[in-house]
Structure 1
Amino acid sequence: MTTLGTAQAAPGEMDTGRLPVGETRDGTQVGLPVAVINGAADGDTLYVQAASDGDELNGVGVVQRVVPQLDPQDIAGTVLVVGIVNFHAFQVAEHRNPIDDTKTNRAYPGDETGTSTERIAAATFQVARRADLILDLHQGSTSRMIDECRVRCGPRHRLHDACLELAKVFDCGYVLDQKGPDGQLARAAPDEGIPTIDPELGGCVGWDEDSIQAGVEGVFNVLSYYGFTDGQVDLNPQTRANGFEQYGSPAGGLVSLRADLGERVSRGDVLFEVTDTFGGVKETVTADSSGIFWRARRLPQVATGEYVCSVGTDVDSY
């Protein structure tokens, strides 16, 4: 019998339930939605989680579409799923947990006696540590972004090659291979010996069907390649960025982007212009390095210093 919170599944069975992580302000218990798919045959364990940032919903869309397609009779091993991690932020469609104004993906491995976010991180990390592979499904918040996977352990980490292989199997086409901030699941779990990636499935308000489908295909690629299900996966070359440059606005006004997502840019190419209300150009911003136009803000209005876009740099193929 495999359990996750209140979900219990014998070999060849599936169950859903809730993982308790605390209480709301009126004393109601908070339980994260979880699923256990316990394969009929022995095998490894895959852990999948979504919405550690409460406004990043494409991962929830992936879970919603993948889980009903998983027949435990056809699976070797176990799939553990936490469908919504950041419970409080999800309820109000915000990025950070409004209880403690904290980003969950900076709190791992968590603290069982800490803040709301630290307790959620600790509870989900305890589940993640049971796995042999981890997929932490994200998106570029509500900005616009290409579909990509992030390898966050750093190139000198002992599991770097295994994480990079997992990203290649997931096959978004683009990989950001750059050591991430402390507290990310994709940083903490490799330290426990578990290959982990952070698929960033586009960026939108609500969710985007194309990015969700890319995520669904990625999950099934992983299931097939690592022997959870039958099937063959052809490994396609990925475009990898080893650096990431972010650009803010040098003035307030309205942004006009001059590059498209996924477009190759060269040093000195115009990335965007800032105009006044009547179209007068106030500032023109060019690329500091060659790379790929990776991410951009959604709304045109900006204040001085406000984020506008990002370029993936030091690009190669692997």
Structure 2
Amino acid sequence: MTTTLGTASARPGEIDTGRLEVGETRDGHPFGLPVAVINGERSGKTLYMQAASDGDELNGVGVIQRVVPRLDPAEIAGTILIVGIVNYHAFQVAEHRNPVDDTKMNRAYPGNENGTSSERIAAATFEAATRADLILDLHQGSTSRMINEVRVRCGTRHRLHDECLELAKAFGCGYVLDQKGPDGQLARAAPNEGIPTVDPELGGCVGWDETSIRKGVEGVFNVLTHYGFLDGDVSLEPQTRAHGFEQFGAPNGGLVRFKQELGARVRSGDTLFEVTTPFGESKAEVTADSNGIFWRSRRLPQVATGEYVCSVATDINTY
């Protein structure tokens, strides 16, 4: 059976790429999102993947760029649908939010085909995503420094929570944030349609980071193998799961000097960071309020009073 997504069309055993038209630019010219269809020779499940719903989060694009050339339809059971760049306008100017309507795309789902620019893109990609049995929405921690994690955003009481956790575990970053997300996230909206969905958050950087991209490529192939798209077995290793964050701001302006490495276990009272003057004079030290994992931190050292500095993941267990 031929499978299409936008102008991409592939019969069993074929790969095709094309564009999913979603509107016009300010000069009246049509534009479309880059899409791919990988149609396996054998029947099976359908996986949907997308990247760059936030325009400056490029690690997911790097994952797709490396995954697609390695996919042979002759070895695949099922279909893979991919939108390589979701937030078209933000990607063009290397910004987080869609500059046309100043919207964070991952707050616009399930979208509105007659709505704003972001709502129309969300509606078009949501229609494609909800054709699938599983969804991977590839993200990163914007330009902050962050460990590689997978986010389960449907909430612990959702009927698909266990299925989403299994998908996160199959991806296998080693760390899972299991916390209900804000309205408008794809990983909140798609489970309501009965589709297990997760957000792999692949580190955080300016541009892209090869270590996080490699982790993402490994995760995609783990999912493809675990769910039967590819032959083989994947061992589901125990994951460290966090249920919340404590965030820390700067008590003074100055320069931040971190005392913990990303992924480090911290205990209540451990020093997280110090704020100094440009001459190295200490102005303040900030300590952890609870036991947890040093999960995320700002990239630039300079801070104003009250500005975000770092996050510690709390309520940790292994599953």
* Map of 2:166 onto structure 1: 165
* Map of 1:213 onto structure 2: 214
* Map of 1:296 onto structure 2: 297
TM-score normalised per structure 2: 0.98
* Map of 2:61 onto structure 1: 60
* Map of 1:223 onto structure 2: 224
- For structure 1, the 5+ residue unaligned runs are none
Deviation at 1:248, TM superposition (A): 1.3
What is the letter of the counterpart of residue 264 of structure 2? E
Aligned residue for 2:224, secondary structure, equals helix
* Map of 2:275 onto structure 1: 274
CA distance in 1, matches of 2:130, 2:168: 19
CA distance in 1, matches of 2:120, 2:156: 30
CA distance in 2, matches of 1:273, 1:22: 48
CA distance in 1, matches of 2:25, 2:305: 38
1:84-113 alpha-carbon deviations (Å, 9 max, x no partner): 000011011111111111110111101111
CA distance in 1, matches of 2:184, 2:245: 19
CA distance in 1, matches of 2:201, 2:67: 17
Deviation at 1:122, TM superposition (A): 0.7
Matches within 5 A, 1:297-316: 297-316=298-317
CA distance in 1, matches of 2:119, 2:197: 20
RMSD: 0.7
What is the letter of the counterpart of residue 35 of structure 1? A
* Map of 2:201 onto structure 1: 200
CA distance in 1, matches of 2:165, 2:42: 27
CA distance in 1, matches of 2:81, 2:152: 21
What is the letter of the counterpart of residue 118 of structure 1? E
Deviation at 1:269, TM superposition (A): 1.1
Deviation at 1:276, TM superposition (A): 1.6
Aligned residue for 1:111, secondary structure, equals coil
1:156-178 alpha-carbon deviations (Å, 9 max, x no partner): 10100000010000000100011
1:162-218 alpha-carbon deviations (Å, 9 max, x no partner): 000100000001000111111111111001100001000011111111110100010
Q: How many residues align?
A: 318
1:213-264 alpha-carbon deviations (Å, 9 max, x no partner): 1000100000011011101100101011111111111221111111110000
Matches within 5 A, 1:146-165: 146-165=147-166
CA distance in 1, matches of 2:193, 2:173: 25
Aligned residue for 2:168, secondary structure, equals helix
Aligned residue for 1:47, secondary structure, equals strand
Matches within 5 A, 1:1-318: 1-318=2-319
CA distance in 1, matches of 2:35, 2:206: 24
TM-score normalised per structure 1: 0.99
Aligned residue for 1:73, secondary structure, equals helix
Deviation at 1:278, TM superposition (A): 1.7
CA distance in 1, matches of 2:111, 2:306: 32
Deviation at 1:117, TM superposition (A): 0.7
CA distance in 2, matches of 1:182, 1:250: 31
Overall identity of the aligned pairs, in %: 78
CA distance in 1, matches of 2:254, 2:103: 30
CA distance in 1, matches of 2:31, 2:283: 49
What is the letter of the counterpart of residue 187 of structure 1? R
The runs of 4+ residues in structure 1 deviating greater than 2 Å are none
CA distance in 1, matches of 2:252, 2:106: 31
What is the letter of the counterpart of residue 185 of structure 1? L
1:259-318 alpha-carbon deviations (Å, 9 max, x no partner): 110000111111111112222222221111110000000100011121111111000100
Aligned residue for 1:117, secondary structure, equals helix
What is the letter of the counterpart of residue 141 of structure 1? S
CA distance in 1, matches of 2:97, 2:282: 35
What is the letter of the counterpart of residue 58 of structure 1? N
